Structure 1
Amino acid sequence: MKRHPALMPLSREHHQLLVLAQVLKHDVPAYKNMPATPNEQRAYALERYTDLIEAHFAWEEKVLLPLAERYGDKLQRLVTQVLAEHQALREAFEKLPITPEADLPQELDLLGRALSANVRFEERVLLQKMQELLPETAWISMEQPGRWN
């Protein structure tokens, strides 16, 4: 899928989120040099949430999704879905610190699958539809000095 240059940094972050999702899934072989035990995976997930995901979601919600909303009703349903997924993911990350160790593998697996589904929906549906519908001039508003550096 060819991305508009304004979306390429976002897609690179999405790749990082997909790696995290794979690390959290239960039925995926362990990645070399990545956390392998549930407690290590929890710590890694919480670190990535703080260091990457919170800012990623905030940027999408303050820049990307309002841009999508400005260009018609065709994108509104997609924006609503992304916002709901972001909220569910925030709640899942926030309950990780208090998840009992016995339940942790299942919670990590569910979180990894939900994160993967969100990223794939954004990449395959939302961004693709935005590229089809938005005029070239719309992408200028996405330029954020320092955001992707």
Structure 2
Amino acid sequence: MPKPLKRHTALQNLSREHHDILVFALRLKKGLKKAELVEIKNYIDWFWEEYLKIHFQQEEVYLFPISVEVSKLTNTAQEYHEKIEQLIKANHIEELHINEIQKTLIDYVRFEERKLFPELQIKLSDSELENYAKNHKVQLNCPYWPNSFWK
């Protein structure tokens, strides 16, 4: 098995945001055992508007267009974005649906971290990655949700 690449500094903010997304997915999973579904759905809608939509836009506007060398992978990432948005906007308040959102988020992060980002680091030049970094200088700050229903 090849040794994993150290994440290029230009992609580190996105990787840290992916960590926040995984924490969010874990909270959904834990919450399903403890909370009312409507509470969880409110959290999902809030997280979409305050964080996830912005993260997706950052990738779609600034990263994917410079990634023509790996367009098949960026197309797959875009498909994940679209599927997650559709799942969230479907407005279903059912355990199976929330599970699907949670699992799709995990699959999405794993795909980008394990396939897309390593390939970007190989195919894109340092100057291309640095140009991207100029548009993503600061990691998104995950806002605070006051109702910790997952605890």
Aligned position for 1:131 = 121
Which residue identity does 1:86 align to in structure 2? H
Matched pairs, number: 134
Partner residue of 2:78?
83
Aligned partners of 2:131, 2:96: CA distance in 1, in Å?
40
Give 2:106's aligned amino acid.
Answer: S
User: Contact 2:17–2:139 (CA<8 Å) still a contact in 1?
Assistant: no
Q: Which residue of 2 aligns with 1:10?
A: 14
**Structure 1, unpaired ranges of 5+:** none
Residue 36 of structure 1, CA deviation: 3.6
Tell me the distance in 2 between the aligned counterparts of 1:21 and 1:132: 29
Is the contact made by 1:23 and 1:41 (CA closer than 8 Å) also made in structure 2?
no
Contact 2:13/2:136 (8 A) holds in 1: no
Amino acid at match of 1:91: Q
Query: Measured at CA, do residues 18 and 145 of structure 1 come closer, stay the same or move farther in structure 2, by a change above 3 Å?
Result: closer
Query: Which has the larger displacement, 138-147 or 116-125?
Result: 138-147
Residue in structure 2 matching 1:21, options 21, 25, 29: 25
Identity of aligned residues (%): 28
Deviation at 1:41, TM superposition (A): 1.5
The equivalent residue for 1:116 is 106
CA distance in 2, matches of 1:132, 1:146: 21
1:144 corresponds, among 117, 132, 135, to 135
Distance (whole Å) between structure 1 residues aligned to residue 71 and residue 137 of structure 2 = 28
User: Whose RCO is larger (CA < 8 A, sep 6+)?
Assistant: 2
TM-score (norm 1): 0.81
